[in-house]
Structure 1
Amino acid sequence: MASDKKIVLVTGGNTGLGYETVKALYQTDTPYELIIGCRTISKGETAIATLRTEVPQSPSSLSTLHVDLESDASLENAVESIASRFAGRLDVLVNNGGGTFDQHVPAGNLSLREAWNKSWETNVTGTHVLTTLAVPLLLKSADPRLLFITSGTSALKGTEDNVTPAMQRLNFNPEPGWPKKELGLSSYPAYRAAKTGLNMVMREWNRLLMRDGVKVWAVSPGFLATGLTGVGRGEMLLKGARDPATGGQFVKDVIQGKRDEDVGLVVGPGRVQPW
Structure 2
Amino acid sequence: MDNSIILVTGSNTGLGLEIVRALFRSLKAYTVLLGSRSEANAKSVVHQLQAEFPNSETIVSSVQVDLEDDESIQKAFNYVSRRFGRVDQGWPKATGSITAYRASKTGMNMMMRGWTRILKHDGVKTFCVSPGFLATGLGGNQERNREMGAIDPAIGAEFIREVVEGFRDKDEGMVVRRDGIQPW
Normalising by the residue count of structure 2, what TM-score does the alignment of the two structures yield? 0.95
SS in 1 for 2:127: strand
Pick aligned residue for 2:129 from 172, 196, 219:
219
Greater RCO, 1 or 2 (C-alpha within 8 Å, sep 6+): 2
Name the aligned partner's letter for residue 87 of structure 2: L
Q: Pairwise mapping of residues 70-219 of structure 1 onto structure 2 (< 5 A)?
A: 70-86=68-84, 88-96=85-93, 98-101=94-97, 188-219=98-129
Alpha-carbon deviations, 1:157-178, whole Å to 9, x = none? xxxxxxxxxxxxxxxxxxxxxx
Does 1:267 find its partner at 2:176? yes
* Structure 2 residues without counterparts, runs of 5 or longer: none
Per the alignment, residue 64 of structure 1 pairs with: 62
Task: Find the aligned partners of 1:79 and 1:8 in 2 and give their Cα distance.
Answer: 13
Q: Pairwise mapping of residues 3-42 of structure 1 onto structure 2 (< 5 A)?
A: 3-42=1-40
Per the alignment, residue 257 of structure 1 pairs with: 166
SS in 2 for 1:8: strand
Deviation at 1:77, TM superposition (A): 1.3
Per the alignment, residue 43 of structure 2 pairs with: 45
Task: Find the aligned partners of 1:39 and 1:191 in 2 and give their Cα distance.
Answer: 18
Task: Find the aligned partners of 2:43 and 2:140 in 1 and give their Cα distance.
Answer: 23
Contact 1:28 1:58 in 2 (8 A): no
SS in 2 for 1:25: helix
Deviation at 1:25, TM superposition (A): 0.4
Contact 1:33 1:62 in 2 (8 A): yes
* Structure 1 residues without counterparts, runs of 5 or longer: 102-187
Task: Find the aligned partners of 2:62 and 2:176 in 1 and give their Cα distance.
Answer: 28
Q: Which has the larger radius of gyration?
A: 1
Contact 1:5 1:33 in 2 (8 A): yes
Task: Find the aligned partners of 1:235 and 1:31 in 2 and give their Cα distance.
Answer: 36
Contact 1:29 1:59 in 2 (8 A): no
Task: Find the aligned partners of 1:36 and 1:25 in 2 and give their Cα distance.
Answer: 12
SS in 2 for 1:12: coil
Contact 1:225 1:243 in 2 (8 A): yes
SS in 2 for 1:248: helix
- Alignment length, in residue pairs? 184
Alpha-carbon deviations, 1:57-94, whole Å to 9, x = none? 200111110111111111111111111112x2211111
Deviation at 1:245, TM superposition (A): 0.2
Query: What percent identity do the matched residue pairs reach?
Result: 45
Normalising by the residue count of structure 1, what TM-score does the alignment of the two structures yield? 0.65
Contact 1:17 1:244 in 2 (8 A): yes
SS in 2 for 1:30: coil
Task: Find the aligned partners of 1:40 and 1:16 in 2 and give their Cα distance.
Answer: 15
Does 1:235 find its partner at 2:154? no
